[in-house]
Structure 1
Amino acid sequence: MKIEQIYTGCLAHAAYYLESNGEVAIFDPLREVQPYINRAKLDDAKIKYIFETHFHADFVSGHLDLMKKTGAQIVFGPTAKPNYDAIVAEDGQVFEIGDYKVKVIHTPGHTMESTTYLLIDENGEEHGIITGDTLFIGDVGRPDLAQKVVAELTQEKLASHLYDSLRNKIMPLSDDLIVYPNHGAGSACGKNMSKETTDTLGNQKKTNYALRADMTKEEFIEAVLDGLTEPPGYFPQNVMMNIKGYESFDSVIHKAQNALSPKAFEAAANETEAIVLDVRHQSEFIKGHIPRSIFIGIDGNFAQWVGALIVDVTQPLLLVTPEGRKEEVVTRLSRVGFDNVIGYLEGGFEAWKDEGMEYDTLNSISAEEFSKLYEANKDYVFDVRREGEYVAEHVDGAKNTQLDYLNNYLGEFPEDKTFYVHCAGGYRSVIASSILKSRGIHNLVEVAGGYKAIKQTDIPRTDYVCPSTLK
C-alpha cells in the first residue's frame, strides 16, 4: 500500500499521504498545504479527499485551504458539526481512493467526533489504521480537552467513551495492522507517547498500558486521567478555528510582509498592543535585544511555546528574526493559529543597533561561575523545567517555577535580591528571563547551559529515589 507519513518534529505531528491509481487522500494536513499539492503532482495524481480524524486542538489544520486549492472534499467522522461544506461520514462508511478503500470507524473519547480510518488495499486486505488522537504509540489521547469547549463533556465521560472505543472498535482488529497516529513524543495531546511514530496493533496490545486486556473501565479512567497537566491555553482557540474556519494561509503570509525600519518598528510597538517576539538564538538575545521583547527561539519547540505562553491567538505580533527566516517564522506561528503578525524589523537586530536605538542585555553566567556563587545564594535558585524533570533531579534548594505556568509564579521571585534561573540546556531559561524582564523584573541571572552544565560542577543535587528501593 502506498502510504507516506509526513512528520513535522517541532509539533510532533504526523500527516498522511495515501495514493492509488491517480487518486490521493490526505489525512490531518498542516496549515501550509502546498507541500501536499506538490507531492500529488509528483505522482501525477489528484487529491480527492481530505480526512480529518477530529477537530484538532494543538494545531490549525490545512483542510480548508487544501479544499479551496484542489477541489477535494473534506471528510469528518460522525457527530462532527463543521461550519463549512464537508462530508460528515457514517460509522462504517467506505470511501474509495483509486484501488484502495478507507473505512470510517467512529472512536469517540479524545473528542466525540474522533474517528479512526481503516486502510484496505487493492486486494481487500486490511493494512493499517490512521488513529488520530485515539491511539498513540505507547499512549492514548487525553480525554480532558473537549470539556474546554463543551463543559458537560467531562474528562470522566470522555474517558469512558474512549475505553469503549478502544475495546469495542480497535482491539478486535487484526494484530498485523500498522498503527499510524497523529502525534509522537513531545505532543501535549498525550502524556506517555513513544518516540516511535508507527507500530503494529499487536505490539501495542502487549505494551501500551491503556490496552491491557483485563483492565476494567474504572482502572482505565483512573490511569488515563492520572498525571494530566493543564493543557496549553491556546488549545480551545485552535479547536474553534478548525470548527468555524480561518483566514487563508496565503493571506496570513501576505499580511506579514510588512518590513519596518527601526524607528517605524519602535512606533508600531508603542502605538499598538503588539508583543515584540524575538526568535533568534538565545545566545544572540543574551548579548542584545529590544527592551521588553519576548524571546522564543525558532530553533526550539517554537510554536508550542508561543501557544503556551502568549495564549491569545489574536495577539498582534512584531517579529525580530534571523536573516532569511521570516516566512518560516510566520508559517510556524500560523500552524498554531497565531495569524496576526503586523510586521517585522527590516535588517534584523543589527539594523536596530546600527540606528543607535536603545537595547537591553541579559545577565548570563556559566555553570562554573554559578557554582562559586551557589552557597551564598542557594535560597534564590529557580528551576523552570517541568515538574517531572525537577522531581527526577534538581539543584538542592531550587524552587520549581515551570515555564509553562510562569505567570502563576510571579509572586515567588524576590524583588530586591539577585536570583538565578536555569532550565535543562539554556533555551527555556532565556524564555523565562525575557518574560520576567518584560514585566519589570530585572534582578535575575540566567545560568547558561542549564542543568546539563550544572551537573558537571560540584553543586549539591537531589536525585529522585523510587520508594520501592527505600529500606
Structure 2
Amino acid sequence: MNIIQFEDKPLAHYSYVIISNNEMAIVDPSRDAKPYYELAEKHNAKIKAIFETHPHADFVSSHFQIHKETEAKIYVSKLVGANYPHQAFDDGDTLKMGAITFSAINSPGHSPDSITIIANDIDNNYAMFSGDTLFIGDVGRPDLREKAGNMKAKREELAKSMYHTIHNKFNHLPDTTKVYPAHGAGSLCGKNMSTDPSSTLGRERNENWAFKDLTEDQFVNHILKDQPFIPAYFGFNVAINKEGADNFETTFCDVPFNFGITEFRNYDSLIIDVRKASYFKYNHLKGSINIIAETEDDKVETWLGSIVEPNEAFHLVINSINDRKTILSRIAKIGYEKQIKSIITLGSNKFETFKSLDLENFKKYPNQYTIIDIRNTSEVDEGKVFESAIPIPLNQLRVSKNKIPTDKPIVVHCAGGYRSAAGSSIISNLINNVTVYDLSDDVNEFN
C-alpha cells in the first residue's frame, strides 16, 4: 500500500495520498491543492477520491476545489449535511480503488459527524486514517461543536461518544493496523499528542490513555479537563468546510497592494504586521498588531485566527514583495484572505517605534513594573514565571483593557518570546500614556 503523508507544520496538520494501480485517493487535504497535483503527475495517477473525515475547524480544506478540477468524488459522512456534491460514506459503505478497498467507520467524539477511513489491500495490510478521532497518544477534543456545524452537540455528549468509539468501533482491526491521524503535537485539536507522525493500533492500545480500563465517567472527566482555548476562527472554518471553499489562489489575487508607502491614513482600521519583531519595533504603523510570520515555526495562522475575529477586515503589513504570496497562502489556510483590505510594505519614512526594556533595571526592580503574563491558562496553572504577574491569555487581550493597571510601565511576557510581540503591541494600542515593553525571549533568563 503506497501511502504518502504531507505535513503542514504551522498547523501540525497531516494529509494523505494513497496510490494504487495509477489511481489516487486523498484524505483531509490542506487548502493548497498543488502538492497533490504534483504527486499525481509524478506517479501518472488519476485522482479518483477525496475523503473528508469531518468538517475541519482549524484549517480550510481543498476538497471542493479538487473535486471541481479533477472530477474526483468527495466521500464524507451523510451526517455532515455537506452543501457540495458528495457521496455519503458511513458504516458499511466501501469503495474499491485499484488493489485497495476503503471502508468507513462512523466514529463520533471529536465531532458528531466524524468518520475513520479504513484501507485494506490484497495482502491484508490495514491502515486507518483517523482524522481527529484517534491521535498518537491522545484522542480529539470534544468541545468544538457546541456552536458550529450542521450537527451541534454538547461536549459531555461528544466525550461519551468518544469513549464508545475508542472502546467499541475499532475492535475488529488487527494490532498491525497503521494509524494515520490528521494532526500531531502542536495542534489545538487535542492536548497531549505525540510528535510521532504515525503509529500502530497495537501500540495505541497499549500506550494511549484512551484505551485504558476506565469507566465512562473517568474517561469523560479526563478528556474534558485542561483542553486548550478555542480560537475564534474554528467555528468559521467548520462552516466554510461544510460549504466548500473557493479556489485557493483566485481568492486573493485581487487584494490591493501598496508598495513602499510613506504615509498612511486608514488608522481607524485594524492593521496586522507580520514582520519579525526587530523590524516592527524599529518602525511600524500606529495601532499595528505584530503577529510574526517569519518561519514555519511561527504560528501566524493560529494566532491571527485567535486575535482577529472572522469577517473582521484588516490591512496587512509585510516585509517584502517576495513575501506576498507566502503570507497570503498562510492566511488563506484559515479562510481569512477575504478580510484583507490591502497589503502594505513600508517605505523609508519613520512611523512609530517601540521602546526597548532596560533588562537590568527590570531585574533589580520588578515591582516597579506591571507584568502581564499572556500565556494560556493551562500554562499559567503549571507555574508562574513572575508571582506578581497578571495573567491574561493572548487571545483575550483585545477585550481586556479594564484588567490592565496603568500606574506603572507594563512588561509583557509569554513562554519563549514569540507571543509577547503580539501581546505587547495589542496592549500598547489599548493603553495610552503608559510605556509598554516586550520582554521577548529574555523571558528565558527567568524560567
Pairwise same-fold verdict (TM > 0.5): yes
Equivalent residues of 2:228, 2:378 under 8 A apart? no
Which residue does the alignment assign to 1:361?
Answer: 353
1:197 is paired with a residue whose SS is: coil
- Among candidates 391, 414, 422, match of residue 405 of structure 2: 414
Matched, 1:386 2:400: no
| Farther-moved stretch of structure 1 (145-154 vs 315-324) | 145-154
Residues 407 and 278 from structure 1, CA distance in 2 versus in 1: closer, same or farther, beyond 3 angstroms?
A: closer
Query: Normalising to structure 1: TM-score of the pair?
Result: 0.89
Shift, 1:405, TM fit:
2.1
Query: What is the count of residue pairs matched by the alignment?
Result: 439
Which residue does the alignment assign to 1:320?
Answer: 317
Residues 154 and 453 from structure 1, CA distance in 2 versus in 1: closer, same or farther, beyond 3 angstroms?
A: same
Which residue does the alignment assign to 1:460?
Answer: none
Which residue does the alignment assign to 2:285?
Answer: 290
Equivalent residues of 2:27, 2:50 under 8 A apart? yes
The one-letter code matched in structure 2 to 1:362 is F
Shift, 1:99, TM fit:
1.3
Gaps of 5+ in 2: none
Residues 407 and 343 from structure 1, CA distance in 2 versus in 1: closer, same or farther, beyond 3 angstroms?
A: closer
Which residue does the alignment assign to 2:301?
Answer: 303
Shift, 1:193, TM fit:
1.0
Shift, 1:408, TM fit:
4.8
Residues 19 and 224 from structure 1, CA distance in 2 versus in 1: closer, same or farther, beyond 3 angstroms?
A: same
Residues 392 and 229 from structure 1, CA distance in 2 versus in 1: closer, same or farther, beyond 3 angstroms?
A: closer
Instruction: Report 1:77-96 matches (<5 A).
Output: 77-96=77-96
Q: What is the Cα-based RMSD across aligned positions, in Å?
A: 1.9
Shift, 1:376, TM fit:
3.6
1:253 is paired with a residue whose SS is: coil
Matched, 1:370 2:362: yes
Equivalent residues of 1:2, 1:18 under 8 A apart? yes
Instruction: Report 1:11-410 matches (<5 A).
Output: 11-123=11-123, 125-149=124-148, 153-212=153-212, 214-256=213-255, 258-261=256-259, 266-267=264-265, 269-270=266-267, 274-298=269-293, 299=295, 300-312=298-310, 314-323=311-320, 324-340=322-338, 341-345=340-344, 348-349=345-346, 351=347, 354=348, 356=349, 359-365=351-357, 367-377=359-369, 380-393=370-383, 394-410=385-401
Shift, 1:130, TM fit:
0.3
Equivalent residues of 1:416, 1:443 under 8 A apart? no
Equivalent residues of 1:367, 1:448 under 8 A apart? no
Aligned mates of 2:388, 2:315 — CA distance in 1: 38
Equivalent residues of 1:366, 1:448 under 8 A apart? no
Which residue does the alignment assign to 1:453?
Answer: 445
Aligned mates of 2:315, 2:107 — CA distance in 1: 41
Aligned mates of 1:367, 1:200 — CA distance in 2: 49
Equivalent residues of 1:381, 1:420 under 8 A apart? yes
Shift, 1:203, TM fit:
1.1
Equivalent residues of 1:367, 1:449 under 8 A apart? no
Aligned mates of 2:415, 2:141 — CA distance in 1: 26
Equivalent residues of 2:368, 2:408 under 8 A apart? no
- The answer to which structure has the higher helix fraction is 1
Equivalent residues of 1:424, 1:450 under 8 A apart? no
The one-letter code matched in structure 1 to 2:436 is L
Equivalent residues of 1:232, 1:311 under 8 A apart? no
Equivalent residues of 1:366, 1:449 under 8 A apart? no
Aligned mates of 1:139, 1:249 — CA distance in 2: 31
Equivalent residues of 1:5, 1:15 under 8 A apart? yes
Aligned mates of 2:120, 2:127 — CA distance in 1: 8
Gaps of 5+ in 1: 456-471
Equivalent residues of 1:129, 1:180 under 8 A apart? yes
Deviations 1:228-279 (A, max 9, x none): 24411111111011112333212223123x2214559724x35xx6422111
Aligned mates of 2:95, 2:162 — CA distance in 1: 24
2:197 is paired with a residue whose SS is: coil
The one-letter code matched in structure 1 to 2:317 is V
Shift, 1:65, TM fit:
1.0
Equivalent residues of 2:90, 2:115 under 8 A apart? no
Aligned mates of 1:206, 1:374 — CA distance in 2: 48
Aligned mates of 1:336, 1:430 — CA distance in 2: 21
Aligned mates of 1:331, 1:106 — CA distance in 2: 32
Shift, 1:59, TM fit:
0.7
Equivalent residues of 1:276, 1:319 under 8 A apart? yes
Aligned mates of 2:406, 2:3 — CA distance in 1: 57
Aligned mates of 1:17, 1:86 — CA distance in 2: 19
Residues 163 and 183 from structure 1, CA distance in 2 versus in 1: closer, same or farther, beyond 3 angstroms?
A: same
Aligned mates of 1:89, 1:156 — CA distance in 2: 26
Query: Normalising to structure 2: TM-score of the pair?
Result: 0.93
Equivalent residues of 2:411, 2:438 under 8 A apart? yes
The one-letter code matched in structure 1 to 2:270 is I
Aligned mates of 1:220, 1:373 — CA distance in 2: 47
The one-letter code matched in structure 2 to 1:232 is P
- The alignment-based identity, stated in percent, is 33
| Farther-moved stretch of structure 1 (416-425 vs 294-303) | 416-425
